[in-house]
Structures are given as structure tokens and as C-alpha cells.
Amino acid sequence: MQPISRRRALQLGGLGLTSIAVGTVGLTWRTLSGNTPAARQELAEPSTLTSTEGLLTVRLEAAEGPVRIADRQATALSYNASLPGPTLRLRPGDRLRVQLVNRLDTVTNLHVHGLHVSPERNGDNPFVTVEPGSTFDYDYRLPPDHPPGMFWYHPHHHGMVADQIFGGLYGAIIVDEPESEFGSIPITRERVLVISDISLNAAGNIQPPSAMARLRGREGDLVLINGQSAPTLEAKPGERERWRILNACTARYLRVRLDGQRLRLLGIDTGRLAEPRDVEEILLLPGNRADLLVTAVQETSPLLALPYARGQVMGMGGMGNEPQADSTSESSTLATLHVTGDKATPLPSVTTRTRQLDLRGKPVAARRELTLAMGMGMGGGMSFAIDGKEFAPDRVDQTVQAGTIEHWTITNTSPMDHPIHLHVWPMQVIEAGGKPIEQPTWRDVVNVPARSNVTVRILFDDFTGRSVYHCHILDHEDLGMMGVIDVRK
């Protein structure tokens, strides 16, 4: 793995500043020329690449160059010159082969977020380094019982994850229901909605965040769906759509609402509900995905992202005496749904799904306590650590026996929420703030609120190897809030 000491120094060097550059949560470019996004554009979805006879072979070229953002020409990062990259469509048991071509001027790699696949060798290996101008061949094999749902891919080279995702490197993965269940969710149409944010300057180039914005976790000035600003969608009354929503933002929490229509949640991340649940809004942490049924009811509804207070940044002068305001302080319109035309023929009801595994009554092989913390580092800047240690790729922080269930209590001592993500193995949340969770709740990104804790159980099945767990506010990960796990036989 490449050394990152120089980059680390650059990231931390400016943290003695006493103010924070807080971007607005609007849908406008930060420009001096008045170059604003087009007002009304129909939703466009990424291209889709689908497996055939159990195999999908893909070439992903990561590069900086011209790309359409909010119906304007910009210069950003992208896979295959599109933002988002192509949607990869698979079934349980499939093999996914990805040739990653690095046309960037920095190192990169690839993480298939949420997929339950091997972390070793050419699998979902976060320790791979793909140098500029070189190519790496990834090979992922999904188990035959892999859970269906929405997943995603993005870079994961420590020290530059936030820069590369914020710059435009991300795309969706769909794992369809097995043949035995396919068709049990009758819908009029399906939509893939990849929500991201970015900041662009007057010339249409990526605006680098300040050092203080990195400390908090950057939030872009421009919020996008599939690379578009506030697109429009159309449906007929009574039509039922399946919306697969991904929060690909580097730090922004999304409280999503669509008032006036009927929303029924199928699941979040790998968590699947036994039957759809009526909801008014959903909270998506950075990296979360929602599987949502939307039945069109009334004429027009904005898809809103409402404010979420994810905590305060410690004041650099007094270490907690000067809290910074929450930057997600305004609502924004992500898209608008227009319901027009004749009423559609009613669809059959959605069938009940198989209930998920519940680990609460199973024997536990080990109990662990992890502590997430922010504080003043030895060099005078902020430290982001797990169990008092910043990330070191050659150090193993947790050694786990394969085939066992573990019980982890994760405590957050900082004044900010931290969403924790474990690669490869999903987590069942059993307690939050000391209160038990009534139903099995499976996630691969779990929120740990400020000065609180959550308890999860993890089944380390199918795979062995080294991987990572980390804060999914990606600037915090790059600044050290990540650990290494080694699952051994």
C-alpha cells in the first residue's frame, strides 16, 4: 500500500483555523457568472449492464474529464464518462468480473459496498492499489443465497476516498430476487435514484473543501439525482413504482419525504422487511440504500431532503467550547413527481417475504467494545480514531474466528453522529442507546449517535480474509477512523 504521510499532513495541516466553510443545501452552482442548472429536466437513469448466464464482465475506466452535471458541462471524475457510472444488474450466484482502468493522476481501487463476497486477492479487497495508467482485474462471486437489494461501487483507497467519490466516482449495483421470488413485487416501473452532492466553481471544476469542511465531513453545494438537479418524474394515478434510492454523498444524511403519495418500505441495505411497511419518511445515512414502493395518489409532490442535525464540530480554539452550526440546516427539493392522466388499473398486492435470520437467540463466540472518538492529536490537529488508534493498514485490530457470531457494542464519545460500515459481513442491530430493537434490523451502515452507543451482532460466515470497518463520513475515514479486521479459520 502507498504511504500517505505527505497527504495526511496536507489534510491535517489547516485544522487550526477558527471558522468553517459551510456550504448551503441548495441546488445552485457556486458561481460568479450566473451559470445555474436548467430548471426542468426529466429524470434520466444510468445505463444498465446485466449478467447473462451467470456472468457479467465490465470494463470501468476511472478518469477526469468533461461530464454533464445538472444539464451543464463540467469537469469531474467519472466511470466510463458518465455520472453516475453504469448500473450493474446481477442475480444471486452470479460472477462479476470488473476490469478497472485507472486514468486518474492518483492511485485508486474499487469497493463493492454491501456485497457479501470474498475480501481476499481480487475480491472486495480494500488494500489493493491501482496505480495511474494501470489496470486491475476484480473477480467477485456472489453466493447462491446472496440477499437481493441495491448495493453500489466506489473507490476505497485510504486517504483519497472522499475526494474521489465527491468528484463523481460511484455507481449502483442491483441484485434481483431469485427466480422463486421474482415477480412477487408487481410494479408499473422501477427507477434507480442515485443521490450525491458536489461543489463546482464558476468554471465548472470541482471545488476542493476547506480543511475545516473535511473535519466536519464535506457537504456539496449541489445535490444531484443521477447527476441531475431537481429532475421531474411522471406517473399516472394508481401506478406503483419501485424506487431504489442510494445515498452516495460523502457525509450528508438524507431525511427523504414525498408527501401526498403512498410510500411503503421494502427494506434498507440488506435488511428486508417481512412485508412492506407504510412510511412517511426515511433516513438514509451516507452509504445507505432504500427499496421503496411509491403509489401515485395526488397531482404534484416534491421529493424533499429535510434537515438532519448530525452534531457539532469541536471548536478548534477551546476543544468543545466553540461548537459549529449543523450544516444540514435547510430543506432541498431533490426531484418533483407529477401525477397526471387516467387512473391506472390496480396492481395485485405485494406478497409476504421470507423473514430474516435473527441472531439474538444464537450462541455468541466473542463480545467486543469499540469506541469512536475525535480529539486533539499529538501534532496539534484533530485526531479521528477507533479505540484510540488511527488507521494503519499493516496492523490487525480485530481477529475473528470464521463461522462464529460476535456481539459488538460501538460507543461514540464525540459530539457528532458517526455512521459505521463493516465490509463484507452485514450487521444485525439489536440495541440502540441501550434500548432493544424489537425486530431483526440488518444494515451494512449503522448510525452511532453522538455520545451514545449501538449494539450489533455479526455472523462471520462464508468468507475469510482481511477487510475494514470505518466511519462512512468519508473524510473521517480518510483522517483515520478505520480499523482492520481479519477473519480466520
Topology of domain 5-175 in CATH is Immunoglobulin-like (2.60.40)
Domain boundaries, the chain: 5-175, 189-339, 366-488
Cβ–Cβ < 8 Å for 112, 85 = no
Bond from prior residue into 84 cis (ω within 30 degrees of 0): yes
Q: Is the torsion defined by CA of 267, 197, 1, 387 positive or negative?
A: negative
Angle ∠(443,449,453) on CA atoms, nearest 5: 80
Whether 321 has a pLDDT exceeding 90, the answer reads no
Best CA proximity match to 481, nearest among 431, 428, 424, 413: 413
pLDDT in tens, 433-476: 999 998 889 999 999 999 999 999 999 999 999 999 999 999 99
Please report, rounded to a whole number, the percentage of residues in the chain having pLDDT higher than 70: 87
Looking at residue 31, its pLDDT comes to 37
E strands, 165-215, in order = 171-175, 189-198
Low-confidence winner among 20-24, 101-105, 312-316 (lowest mean pLDDT): 20-24
Answer whether 483's CB lies under 8 Å from 447's CB: no
% of the chain exceeding 90 in pLDDT: 79
The CATH superfamily label for domain 366-488 reads Cupredoxins -  blue copper proteins (2.60.40.420)
Domain 189-339 = CATH 2.60.40.420: yes
Average confidence score pLDDT of the chain: 88
Q: What share of the chain is helix, strand, coil (3-state, %, to 5)?
A: 5, 45, 50
261 — pLDDT class (breaks 50, 70, 90): very high
Identify the bridge partners of residue 256 per DSSP, sorted by sequence position: 282, 305
Q: Is 463 helix (H, G, I), strand (E, B) or coil?
A: coil
* Grid cell 475480501 in the structure block, residue: 119
DSSP designation for 167: T
- Please name the residues in contact with 449: beta carbons below 8 A apart, sequence gap of 6 or more: 412, 417, 432, 433
Q: What is the pTM of this model?
A: 0.90
pLDDT at 39 over 70: no
What ranges make up the beta strands (E) of 260-314?
262-268, 271-279, 281-284, 289-295, 300-306
All residues at 6 or more sequence positions from 82 whose CB lies less than 8 Å from its CB, including other chains:
46, 47, 67, 227
- Beta-bridge mates of residue 339: 235
Main-chain phi, psi angles of 437, to 5 degrees: -90, 130
Instruction: Identify the pLDDT of residue 350.
Output: 87
Same fold across 189-339 and 366-488: yes
In the prediction, which pLDDT does 178 show? 78
Output the furthest CA–CA distance in the chain (Å, rounded).
67
Mean pLDDT of 89-95: 97
pLDDT at 360: 94
CB atoms within 10 A of CB 143: 15
